[in-house]
Amino acid sequence: MKKIFSILFFLLLSNLIKAQIGDSLISKNNFYGDFGDSLALNDSIAQAHYAVVDAYVLHLKKRYRNIPSLAKDLTATFTSPEDKVRAIFRWMTNNISYDCADYHNKNKTLGGGVSYSSTTSKSQITAQWANMYYRYANRVLRKRKGICEGYAILFYELCNQSGINCEIIHGFADQNSKRIGKYKTFHRKFTNHAWDSVELNGNWYDLDATWASGSCDEEVRHFYKGFNAAYYLTSAKKSFADHIQSIKETEKLNRDIGN
């Protein structure tokens, strides 16, 4: 069976890591609840089908060191985009843990940087951004740890390797519904969370591998692994009740990496 980006561009880099600085977490004390209209929860047929994909993915025990190898092993067995997305999502939620130490690291960056001059073309800059993201995602894979943007970027890169249309979403996430309501009235550049959206059968669905993989204690010192299916495949038109996208920051991020 087959197995599977001179001068640092500080201002742009700063914007890109804002989601890391204000990383939003799901609290261990509020792990369960009404998190939105999740297709995975409401469709019993899909649940049964997912069980087959999950069983294959959870059986993979190899210690992967690069994204292409992992993407191949995760998706080569499956033909439908839906199954490939599920395989990537389930592997990540089972194998990537939240990096509590990095959450408290005030000097964290995506790694590397973008250098340019007056002769650097837009396509060259975009390629550098894409390369930086790729290196960062590979680092998360090797450590098997990441904060929210690490999860989102690794998921994006695995989808990219597997022919799945995917976007990284920047926005706000908060389990307090009153604060989420207030976020909708503000237009700030600061974001506190990152997740992903995938295109399946012409429709876009949001998923959050960070919040689906487990929870942290209140001090964010300990991570508790535990799969939460509520953060898988919810219509992007509605998204999750505790998430709200920053359209401006999302478009900017995906434009920078040529997505």
Q: Tell me the CA end-to-end span of the chain in Å, nearest whole number.
A: 32
Q: Which candidate, 192, 94, 100, places its Cα nearest to that of 149?
A: 192
Helix, strand, coil percentages in the chain from 3-state DSSP, rounded to 5: 45, 15, 40
Which pLDDT score is estimated for 184? Answer: 61
pLDDT at 29 over 60: no
Tokens 């194998």: give the residue.
Answer: 95
Sign of CA dihedral 142, 146, 149, 152: positive
Which pLDDT score is estimated for 2? Answer: 41
Whether 88 and 156 have beta carbons less than 8 Å apart is answered as: no
The percent of residues above 90 in pLDDT, for the chain, comes to 47
Give the integer Cα–Cα distance in Å for 147 and 241: 21
Give the integer Cα–Cα distance in Å for 143 and 125: 27
Give the integer Cα–Cα distance in Å for 67 and 157: 7
pLDDT digits (tens, 9 = 90+) for 118-150: 677 777 777 877 888 899 999 999 999 999 999
pLDDT digits (tens, 9 = 90+) for 190-240: 678 999 999 999 999 999 999 999 999 989 999 999 999 999 988 877 778
Return the SS3 of 83: helix
Give me the half-sphere count of Cα atoms (radius 13 Å) on the Cβ side of residue 35: 26
pLDDT digits (tens, 9 = 90+) for 148-161: 999 999 999 999 99
Return the SS3 of 123: helix
What is the mean pLDDT of the segment spanning 32-41? 40
pLDDT at 31 over 50: no
Which pLDDT score is estimated for 60? Answer: 93
What is the mean pLDDT of the segment spanning 72-91? 96
Which pLDDT score is estimated for 78? Answer: 94
Which pLDDT score is estimated for 172? Answer: 85
Give the integer Cα–Cα distance in Å for 80 and 165: 13
Give the H/E segment covering residue 146. Answer: strand 145-146
What is the mean pLDDT of the segment spanning 170-194? 73
Which pLDDT score is estimated for 252? Answer: 75
Return the SS3 of 217: coil
What's 31's DSSP letter? -
Which range, 5-14, 76-85, 249-258, is most confident? 76-85
Q: Which candidate, 62, 53, 56, 106, places its Cα nearest to that of 82?
A: 53
**Mean residue pLDDT across the chain:** 79
pLDDT at 58 over 70: yes
pLDDT at 5 over 90: no
Which pLDDT score is estimated for 33? Answer: 33
pLDDT digits (tens, 9 = 90+) for 86-112: 999 999 999 999 999 999 987 776 666
pLDDT grade, residue 26 (50/70/90)?
Answer: low
Return the SS3 of 251: helix
